[in-house]
Structure 1
Amino acid sequence: MADIVVRRVDLGYFVRPASETGTEHARVEPTLGYLIEHPIGLVLVDTGMGRHPEVDAHYRPRRIPLTAALRTAGAKLDDIEYVVNCHLHFDHCGGNPELAGRPVFTQRSELSLARTTEHTIPELIDHPGARYEELDGEAEILPGVVIVPTPGHTAGHQSVVVTRRDGTIVVAGQSHDNASLFTGDVLSQRAGVGHHPVWIDRLLAFDPRQVVFAHDNAVWTPGTSQVSAS
């Protein structure tokens, strides 16, 4: 069987206002999806930013249309057979309606939260043709592709672990806003001091070669707990 390939999908960027950065300044953040090219079928992790007047006014997003973003990554919309959303905020499930009919893997708790919170866009959640595969915890959705709950940003946040011949890649979504914060939690876990999410232990048990994120171009690599630009 051919090896699994993971490709980054550039879906644009948005401007996080100073009120959300903890500083006096706004911060521009990329919106990244990940295409998992599996011999059984293509999996897309996160689908871009949805549209809503209040969202657009608050975050000033600059979107790359999903069809164009996938083309740059070497795929077409019709090629996508499975979808995973790390969580169901507007900037992670915005392209889901364009992929109607495909199974969307989500934690049951995340879908329930998305349907009852003010922090989601309802038409992106229960759009025509929406088809959810609701999970209750960890699940291998394809051989070598495992979804692991990583709650924090939302109660139902999840990451995707991809096992390749040359090592494991973790698509960590927004488990952390950036690779440096992930590094801090890894060091905390190794040193046995401070606080870190309990699921960090589970992710590190896969011995990841790389960890990638939804809002950071940097890639975490093991060894010296460093981050590298990519």
Structure 2
Amino acid sequence: MQKSGVKRLYLMQVGSMPEYQIPIVCALVQTADGQNVLIDSGLPAPLPEEASDFENGQDVIAQLASIGLTPDEIGIVISTHYDIDHAGRHAAFTKAHYVVQRAHHLDAASNPRFAALRPQWDQPSERIRLVDGDTELLPGLDLIETSGHVTGHQSVLVRLPETGAVLLTVDAVAFGKDFTREQQDSHTPDAEAIRASTLKLLDLAEREQVGLVIFGHDAAQWEQLKKLPEYYE
């Protein structure tokens, strides 16, 4: 098996959409050389009025504390996109560099969809790393550009020493039922971009022999996954 700089992958549920029984999730990657990389940060607290469909659970900061980590020990935050259930605690990680697709960050600057959360994601420019397309962030940790859900959305591929390749589709494919080459009935404006990203991830999963694909909000799958303090290695 290819050597990887990644040592562990933790998964966390930090909230939910109770009406639809949808989990709100984050992840933490730890590397062999001691780096802590957070993938998304969950919901804000308090929740704004427009987020009444959501419910906070044990937040990412409390869950990190349960394994002995403080916000200052997070060196990188991979921001898959700036939706309220993914970037709600970004501002808590004041020592971290944020990694986001350039297309997404530039779109968010004038997109009303992300305006309410701007104090969280609009960090000093010296702490934001803008990437363009698929990027190897660290050995064993790749960012995969998957626009469709939003412009510049990114998924994450993690190569673990024992588990092998793990693909976090995030909101590019939120539910396992949609991870298919069959044409989906969709009337959303970005249906073609969503399909293109889905096919891209399917090709990636085959090419990289991905053994575990983790979907962004799949409650049935989430019940079966290891969650912090357990981890994949």
Fold-level match, TM-score > 0.5?
Answer: yes
**Counterpart check, 1:160 vs 2:163:** no
Aligned-pair distance for 1:53? 2.5
Partner Cα separation in structure 1 for residue 85 and residue 223 of structure 2: 24
Which residue number corresponds to residue 79 of structure 1? 73
Of residues 10, 23, 26, the one that matches 1:33 is 26
Does the 8 A contact of 2:6 with 2:158 survive in 1? no
Letter in 1 for 2:122: D
**Counterpart check, 1:178 vs 2:179:** no
Moved over 4 A (4+): 127-130
Does the 8 A contact of 2:72 with 2:95 survive in 1? no
Which residue number corresponds to residue 223 of structure 1? none
Aligned-pair distance for 1:155? 1.6
Letter in 2 for 1:126: D
Question: Root-mean-square deviation (CA), in Å?
Answer: 2.4
Letter in 1 for 2:16: Y
Of residues 206, 209, 214, the one that matches 1:207 is 209
Alignment length (residue pairs) = 204
- 3-state SS of the aligned residue for 1:202? helix
**Counterpart check, 1:54 vs 2:35:** no
Partner Cα separation in structure 1 for residue 50 and residue 66 of structure 2: 26
Q: Note the alpha carbon deviations across 1:72-117, whole angstroms, 9 max, x for none.
A: 4553323211110211111101111001231111100111121111
Q: For structure 2, list consecutive stretches of 5 or more residues without a partner in the other structure.
A: 185-194, 226-233
Does the 8 A contact of 1:33 with 1:214 survive in 2? no
Partner Cα separation in structure 1 for residue 219 and residue 66 of structure 2: 16
Which residue number corresponds to residue 8 of structure 1? 11
What is the TM-score when the length of structure 1 is the normalising length?
Answer: 0.78
Inter-CA distance 48–209: structure 2 relative to 1 (3 Å threshold): same
Letter in 1 for 2:161: R
More strand by share: 1
Partner Cα separation in structure 1 for residue 105 and residue 168 of structure 2: 20
Aligned-pair distance for 1:140? 0.9
Q: Percent identity?
A: 24
**Counterpart check, 1:194 vs 2:190:** no
Does the 8 A contact of 1:7 with 1:73 survive in 2? no
Letter in 2 for 1:141: L
What is the TM-score when the length of structure 2 is the normalising length?
Answer: 0.77
- 3-state SS of the aligned residue for 1:140? strand
